[in-house]
Amino acid sequence: MAKRIQFSATGGPEVLQYVDFTPVDPAAGEVQVENKAIGINYIDTYVRSGLYPPAKLPSGLGTEAAGVVIKVGAGVSAVKPGDRVVYAQSTLGAYSEVHNVAVEKVALLPHNLSFEQGAASFLKGLTVHYLLRQTHEVQPGEVFLFHAAAGGVGLIACQWAKALGAKLIGSVGSDEKAELAKHAGAWATINYHKEDIAQRVAELTQGEKVGVVYDSVGQSTWQASLNSLKRRGLMVSFGNASGPVTGVDLALLNQKGSLYVTRPSLNGYITNRAELQYASNELFSLIGSGAIKVDVKEEQKFALADAQRAHQVLESRNTSGSSLLIPGR
């Protein structure tokens, strides 16, 4: 028997249940991982709430963790029992002591990275990789706007931008978060509770504005994001922490200077193990060199049984950086 988190109805954090289950052997092409650290991502709250409903209920939750391979299914040769691994984009159910994962979602975790570093950085780091290196290839010296710069994705983006020699303007919700983003490598910050985002972007760029905006906040920043873009700029909407953007008037894009909008997700960029290995190699080398640091605050590490509380804290929008569930804590 093992423990996992599941939910039988969509809703608030209270629907999450800590239950016993019997793991099944991995199928062909799968590996069974004993999770040592589990990544908590904002998208998990969308699945739990029903915004992105699971295919069936009851359902597991979570798609990212780091741990040790304990069994492999038929036809698996890339990893073996005993290997330290990290995975993201698995089938739902990573909030568990044991999870079966398709081998193409699994990368070997270098020995100079801890399980906690792996789980805290993998999905978020792969997200930053596709955003800054593929959706739009950020250039040295380029100024751009990144919302929620003190979040888990944001703090990695600040550090990655600095490593690229680019100038990230980070929007944040408090002076404390501004300090965190600055410390991580943001070139400038905007406290959206005190300052007008678009006006401040214009001031910071001598009226030029920016060529790309990365926005995971959604509804509450949509207009400010469009207003921060220069002519023919790119709006990258990759999340909706404040609620989804709906009722988009395409004529607005014309009025604001023939803008482009894309709604990417990791699934569109990493579709096989080769693409996963390529992106993770770049991420792990930056972490290994110290260019990207992923430190999880002690108060953002939760026991697996405390998943309800972890979601309450995450949705309060008072966290910074990554949060983890630790089995056996």
Domains of the chain: 2-121+270-326 (3.90.180.10), 140-264 (3.40.50.720)
Average pLDDT value for residue range 155-169: 97
The answer to whether residue 22 scores a pLDDT higher than 80 is: yes
pLDDT score for 122: 94
pLDDT score for 37: 98
Strands (E), 55-193: 59-60, 65-72, 84-87, 98-102, 106-108, 143-146, 167-172, 188-191
The answer to whether residue 243 scores a pLDDT higher than 90 is: no
Q: Which residue has the tokens 């751009």?
A: 144
The answer to whether residue 161 scores a pLDDT higher than 80 is: yes
The answer to whether residue 42 scores a pLDDT higher than 90 is: no
Q: What is the mean pLDDT of the chain?
A: 94
d(CA 175, CA 177): 5
Tell me: the pLDDT tens digits for 212-231? 999 998 888 889 999 999 99
pLDDT score for 152: 85
58 prior amide bond cis, ω within 30: yes
pLDDT score for 291: 95
Residues with Cβ within 8 Å of 196's Cβ and at least 6 positions away in sequence, in order, are 224
Confidence band, pLDDT 50/70/90 cuts, at residue 64: very high
d(CA 123, CA 128): 9
Looking only at the bridges linking them, the beta strands covering 30-40 and 323-326 are antiparallel
d(CA 191, CA 197): 8
pLDDT score for 61: 98
Q: Select the more confidently predicted residue: 146 or 248.
A: 146
pLDDT score for 321: 75
Considering Cα of 44, then 50, then 51, then 52, what sign does the dihedral take?
positive
* Closest by CA position to 169, among listed 218, 127, 229: 229
Query: Where does 205-289 have alpha helices with state H?
Result: 222-227, 250-255, 273-289
Confidence band, pLDDT 50/70/90 cuts, at residue 110: very high
The answer to whether residue 187 scores a pLDDT higher than 80 is: yes
Average pLDDT value for residue range 263-289: 92
Which range (79-88, 180-189, 267-276) has the least confidence?
A: 267-276
d(CA 326, CA 329): 6
d(CA 243, CA 315): 12
Q: Which residue has the tokens 């159910």?
A: 93
